[in-house]
A and B are shown apart, each in its own frame.
Chain A
Amino acid sequence: MTPFGRGIIRILGFQLLALVSLALALSTTGSKLLVVLDPSINKEDYSIFFDDLKDRDFVIDFRSANDPHLSLFNYGERAYDHVILTLPPTQKALGPNLLAKPLLEFMANGGNVLVLVNPNEHALGSVREFARELDIHLPFRDTKLVDHFHFDTAASPNLHDTVILDPATSLVAPSILPGATRKKIVYSGSAFALGNNQLLFPILRASDTAYVYDPAEELLASDSPFVSGTQAYLVAGIQARNNARAVIVASSSMLSNDAIDAADSANRELAAGITKWTFQESGVIKLASVTHKLANTDEENPQIYRVKKNITYEAEISEWTGDKWVPFVADDVQLEFTMLDPYYRLTLTPVGANGDSELYATTFQAPDQHGMFTFHLNYKRTGLSYVEDKRTVTLRHFGHNEFLRSFEIPNAYPYITSVVVVVVAWVLFTVLWVFSGPEKVPEKKTQ
């Protein structure tokens, strides 16, 4: 059998498997997971991590980084839903299919990426480039995060490079690790810096006293470390505008069996939290429906309204709990009614559950300004999927027959009266004029 034929069968079989497991998937976007492993990495060292993923119904395809048939796309379609990249220390690059460009394209097509940077090796070119496009700046090779105040005395008595993190202060995104836990996080590896990208989602950072130490520069490094303190990030993600997610973990060792098995460590829960967020199992909300209509009428989503009419806007939002959609309740969902600038910014009130989604509604009077207005629902919160909906409608002016009639306006009575008086007076005058007839001197009137 040719390698090509083998590849086909493998893909077919894999897709069949994926199809079967789709019904069980816990992720909202699918369960096909590609794990790019370096041959040098012992899968057994991460068995707990991968077993946990398998338990969550992911269909894992383990592939070697130097597999020539490895491709993220199959005939232009995304071949996988999620990718975990571990960085191979033995190779110069990840191969042509895992360059930064295909990875970004994979995300642009809705795929999620989890990058585990190997602690023993510098991040390779393509991943460094990938991370930089997301505005995450990976450190130099061989650098280490050290903390002379919080370190694992057993693992690194001298170098202080196996640091202990307190989730209470280091965990920037508490939603990743739900439930108040006082356990510690064991970490060994480097740390990266974050740029200004507003889509970034920092998850875990170093403690105040930590800094990145570069063994190559010896003492100088401590004068101006790459990053230090709480600006040194260990885990950070990004949610692209299409809701595709990517997370970079600065050290894959954090997820290894050793770290998970360490006494009192929260690493296993953290790993679960990170993968759940990355693979769209947690922090996922969706807009189930949007309707707008004239208040107290039934016709939904008309294209045109009139100024000063009462308009009802309703939106339904659901949240994914990992196995089903439930109503998403929040008190900060807002609607903007915009024409260039918002004319209204209204907080939508949760009215109640409607099936598996929460119904938000508001009723307002359209402004006295005609134009093309947009119902803009823009709910973007860190860690949650972006919910944005724009619907443009026309707000027309009063029609010629939609004003009050004059006799309905009390203020108009004097004018109406005067008109009537003039008409009556004119008729009387004409009658008088006609029937009085010429008497004495025939006058030459100008009329």
Chain B
Amino acid sequence: MVLLPSSVPQSAAQALPLLKTVILLTIAGAAIASRLFSVARFESIIHEFDPWFNFRATKYLVSHDFYSFLDWFDDRTWYPLGRVTGGTLYPGLMVTSALIFHTLKALTLPVDIRNVCVMLAPVFSGLTAYVTYLFTTEMKDEGAGLLAAAFIGIAPGYISRSVAGSYDNEAIAIFLLMLTFYLWIKALKLGSAFWGALTALFYFYMVAAWGGYVFITNIIPLHALVLIIMGRYSNRLYVAYSSWYSLGTLASMQIPFVGFLPIRSSEHMGALGVFGLLQLVGFSLYIRARLPSSQFKVLIMVATIGLLSFGVLAIVGLTFTGVIAPWTGRFYSLWDTGYAKIHIPIIASVSEHQPTAWPSFLFDTHMLIWLFPAGVYLLFQKLRDEHVFVIIYAILGSYFAGVMVRLMLTLTPVVCVCGAVALSTIFDQYTNLATPETSGEDSRDGESNKEESSSSLLNISGLARAPIVGIFSPWSRVVVMGSFLVYLCMFVQHCTWVTSNAYSSPSVVLASQLPDGSAHIIDDFREAYYWLRKNTPEDAKIMSWWDYGYQIGGMADRTTLVDNNTWNNTHIATVGKAMSSREEVSYPILRKHDVDYILVIFGGLIGYSGDDMNKFLWMVRIAEGIWPEEVQERNFFTPRGEYRVDEQATPTMRNSMMYKMCYYRFTELFGRQGAVDRVRNQRIPSPTTDSSATPIQLNTVEEAFTSENWIVRIYKVKDLDIFGREHAAAMAFEEGKKRGGRTIRAPPSGGHGKGKARVLRV
């Protein structure tokens, strides 16, 4: 497992590169294979939500040329605003897939673009494993590198975003992240402008691929800054940083979505500041070489104070005048976890933006999470320049992973690296069979230790001669090594189990088990989306909560009002208001937005908890943010502050569009025993069991489609009544109900059912 290059015999040393290659290939194979659960279990399908947009964009790119992709104005989303899609996405992922697709086509290997997209993430995870190997090799040695590669290959924290079908930016971004870091370390070590330029190149690729590039934009300057403060300024640092920053920034500005952000937004100011600082430090060192030290001290004092205050004032001034964009809400929510909940419900409503629960650290990285601090400690022991980088990465990564669930992803690589360093150090120590001559002294330097113990690896006789107890006894080695081997086995077992059970569900297709244990596929989503595709006009506008926008666009190919690219809070709030208001209030909104169909997700029948009734409060909150007078969260709770949908539900709740559409005719499914919502475990008032309950009546929309398990329900928005009646009145007439009271004595009041004052005609 552990390679000790210097200690192996000559013939083995020649076979070493081959062995390494084989190991790396095996690791890559394992990384890819463990991500194929979903394909094996379900099918080759795009997962979840965002991947559907990426898939759609990729298809557009493949069927058009690159420039029309760049200028793409998408008129199928955010109706009627549309989206300047070409300018508001990170094109790296789509371009990568399109390149692979065209290359394969040129090689006369016609592959469906869907399969390219599905398999992209597993393939790149294999590459990530290789890059992590390179990165960790720079930190310690190749043994640690191989361990890290194996860890990152199967660590659930990374697999969660890179199973087959999870066609998201993160799929290639982690590879690019690690590659950029590796190149940066390389550039720093060598002080080479070439490697710096390579860093910039892949930094550019990263910018093109994922919004998380800001992490790199800040961690490299931070590294440089820490090195300067530690007094480790060197020409290598100067060359590496300057070439990376200048080239990388210019390159990143070529991405339309990024544009002038690198010189205008606060998140990028750190990199610029460190760049300036490096010039100053370099210049001051140059001056120092030419000036007497007393004069230099004065100069440096004045210059430091002057420049520092000037810089701070300039940044503050530019921020206030708006030249530098102030920090965004997403940025604030990184520091104050409660910020989003108060100020930006739309960010807080996303489950992956929630703070991380501590078990998920163990869940996602298993034993690595406790090897991780040990690894960081070991890096502190040596503290070369590149170790500082990993330490900074470890600190930042841990913090951010604690703030947001989704940032677990950026923490995982450094956990793997540090875990590998720790574990390989342990192995180095314990596979070394020689007893140190100066016992009791901690072997600080692994390198020298190895050399001392050279050729003793195969010395089995040492085992017999050594004492039975004590730190250096063979048995303690066997116990430690054995337990770690058990840990490793458990790690593999855990990773496979987590991947198989937690991260391999496409969420478009749900799996459940029948009482006899056989698998049962719940395919309501696709059933409903294909119904839309086949039964509605090409230009029909579908209103749904934004979660399903991408899927409707991708699978049903219909125009949506809002989607997962939550760029317009007001528009989303409008949908929230239409969902949470009474029919009479929402109908004009629906008309104004030309809505033809409304789609709601309802899990009450089969107990699918991620449904719209459970997300309903977010709709209310987001709508309340814009219309605090008209939508009030308080009115949706019972007087005792409970969220109820049964007979205690508030009138506001019961009259809301969403409630009505979810539970419309729900009670008819149940006979005498009464209707029970299986998600919320509450009894829905049913006219068959409760005489006081009235069936839910929908006037302005009519049920168009309900899927097999009632998960998706689609309603058609009625046109205006052709005789100019109100919908409620027309419905009452259709159902044969007499208008309230005899209307013979019509005027002047009560003439028209609702007691509306009649207007005198002139």
Using a CB–CB distance below 8 Å, which chain A residues touch chain B? 100-101, 104, 107-108, 132-135, 137-140, 193-200, 202, 226-227, 230-231, 238, 240-242, 244, 304, 339-340, 370-374, 392, 394-397, 399-401, 444-446
CB nearest neighbor in A for B746: A137
Top-5 shortest CB links A-B: A396-B73, A137-B746, A199-B724, A372-B80, A399-B71
**Interface with A: B282-290, B403-411, B546-554, which one?**
B282-290
User: When the two chains form the complex, which single residue of B283, B286, B758 contacts A195, counting CB atoms closer than 8 Å?
Assistant: B758
Quick check: B752 and A195 within 8 Å, CB to CB? yes
In the complex, the chain A residue whose C-beta lies closest to that of B86 is: A400
What's the minimum C-beta distance from B724 to chain A, rounded to whole angstroms? Answer: 4
Q: A200-B724, A371-B80, A446-B235 are in contact. List 6 more A-B contacts (CB 8 A).
A: A104-B723, A108-B722, A137-B751, A193-B747, A372-B81, A444-B289
Question: Which of A137, A139, A195 has the most CB atoms of chain B within a 10 A radius of its CB?
Answer: A195
Q: What B residues does A135 contact at CB under 8 A?
A: 724-725, 752
> B739 contacts the other chain (Cβ, under 8 Å)?
yes
Q: How many residues on the B side are at the interface (Cβ–Cβ under 8 A)?
A: 46
Question: What is the minimal beta-carbon distance from B738 to any residue of chain A, in angstroms?
Answer: 9
Contact indicator per residue, chain B 709-727, by CB within 8 Å of chain A (1) or not (0): 0000000000011111100
Q: Contact string, B164-177, partner A, CB cutoff 8 A, digits 1/0?
A: 00000000000000
B residues whose Cβ falls under 8 Å from a Cβ of A: 67, 70-71, 73, 75, 79-82, 84, 87, 235, 238, 256, 282-283, 285-286, 289, 539, 592-594, 720-725, 730, 733-734, 739, 743-747, 751-752, 756, 758-762
Q: Is the CB of B80 within 8 A of A227?
A: no
Set of chain B residues within 8 Å of A304, measured between Cβ atoms: 73, 75
A446 with B752: CB separation less than 8 A: no
A to B CB contacts below 8 Å, 8 in the list: A101-B733, A107-B723, A132-B739, A240-B722, A304-B75, A394-B73, A399-B67, A400-B71
Closest to B762 in A: A230
DSSP majority for the B interface? Answer: loop
Q: Check A446–B747 contact: CB distance below 8 A.
A: no
Q: Known interface pairs A132-B739, A231-B761, A444-B289. Does A372 touch B79 (Cβ–Cβ under 8 Å)? A: yes
Contacts of B75 in A (CB 8 A): 304, 372, 394, 396
| Chain B residues closer than 8 Å to A371, beta-carbon distance | 80-82
Measured between alpha carbons, how far is A374 from B539 in the docked complex, in Å?
A: 13
Q: For residue A306, which residue of chain B has the nearest CB? A: B73
Residue contact B751 to A195, C-beta cutoff 8 Å = yes
Among residues of A, the one whose C-beta sits closest to the C-beta of B736 is: A101
Pair B70/A400 contact, Cβ less than 8 Å: yes
Contact of A238 among B723, B739, B744, B751 (CB under 8 A): B723
B73 & A133 in contact (Cβ 8 Å cutoff): no
- CB nearest to B279 among chain A residues: A446
Q: Out of B70, B87, B592, B751, which one reaches A193, CB within 8 Å?
A: B751
| Contact of B725 (CB < 8 Å), options: A133, A193, A194 | A133
| B752 x A196 contact (CB < 8 A) | yes
Interface Cβ pair total, 8 Å cutoff: 121
Q: Which residues of B contact A400 (CB under 8 A)?
A: 67, 70-71, 256
Complex CA–CA separation, A340 to B720 (angstroms): 18
Q: In whole Å, how far is B513's beta carbon from the nearest beta carbon of chain A?
A: 45
Which residue of chain A has the shortest Cβ distance to B593 in the bound complex? A340
**What distance in Å separates the Cβ of B399 from its nearest Cβ neighbour in chain A?**
34
Given A240-B722, A371-B81, A444-B289, A202 and B73 contact (CB-CB distance below 8 Å): no
Q: Contacts A197-B725, A242-B722, A392-B539 known; A340 to B73 CB distance under 8 Å?
A: no
Which of B256, B286, B730, B761 has the most chain A CB within a 10 Å cutoff?
Answer: B761
- Residues from chain B with a CB closer than 8 A to the CB of A397 are 71, 73, 84, 87
Given contacts A227-B747, A446-B286, contact A198 B73 (CB under 8 A): no
The reply to whether A446 and B282 contact each other, CB–CB distance below 8 Å, is: yes
Q: In the docked arrangement, what's the CA distance between A238 and B722, Å? A: 11
A238–B721 CA distance with the chains assembled, in angstroms: 13
Q: What residues of B have a CB within 8 angstroms of the CB of A108 in the complex?
A: 722
Determine how close the nearest CB of chain B comes to the CB of A437; give it in whole angstroms.
21
- For A202, what are the chain B residues with a Cβ–Cβ distance below 8 Å? 761
In the complex, the answer to whether B720 meets A193 with C-beta atoms within 8 Å is: no
Q: How far is the CB of B432 from chain A (nearest CB, A)?
A: 44
| CB contact between A140 and one of B539, B594, B744 (< 8 Å): that residue | B744
Given contacts A134-B723, A198-B724, contact A139 B744 (CB under 8 A): yes
Q: Do A231 and B760 touch (CB < 8 A)?
A: yes
The reply to whether A370 and B80 contact each other, CB–CB distance below 8 Å, is no
Q: Give every chain A residue within 8 A of B285 (Cβ-Cβ).
A: 446
Contacting pair B744 A373 (CB below 8 A): no
State the CA gap A244–B724 with chains docked (Å).
12
Contact of A394 among B82, B720, B739, B761 (CB under 8 A): B82
Q: Which residues of A contact B747 (CB under 8 A)?
A: 137, 193, 226-227, 231
List residues of chain A with CB within 8 A of the CB of B238: 446
Q: When chains A and B are docked, how far (Å) is the Cα of A86 from the Cα of B81? A: 53
Q: A240: which B residues are within 8 A, CB to CB?
A: 722-724
Given known A-B contacts A231-B760, A231-B761, A446-B285, A133 and B593 have beta carbons under 8 A apart:
no
- CB neighbours (8 Å) of B721 from chain A are 241
**Distance to closest chain A CB from B74 (angstroms):** 9
| B82→A372 contact, CB < 8 A | yes
**B contact residues around A193 at 8 Å (CB):** 746-747, 751, 758
**In contact, B761 and A339 (Cβ under 8 angstroms):** no
Interface centre among B73, B739, B756 (most CB of A within 10 A): B73
How many angstroms between the C-alpha atoms of A446 and B235 in the bound complex?
6
Q: How far, in angstroms, from A300 to B81 measured CA to CA in the complex?
A: 24
Complex: chain A residue closest to B725, CB-CB: A133
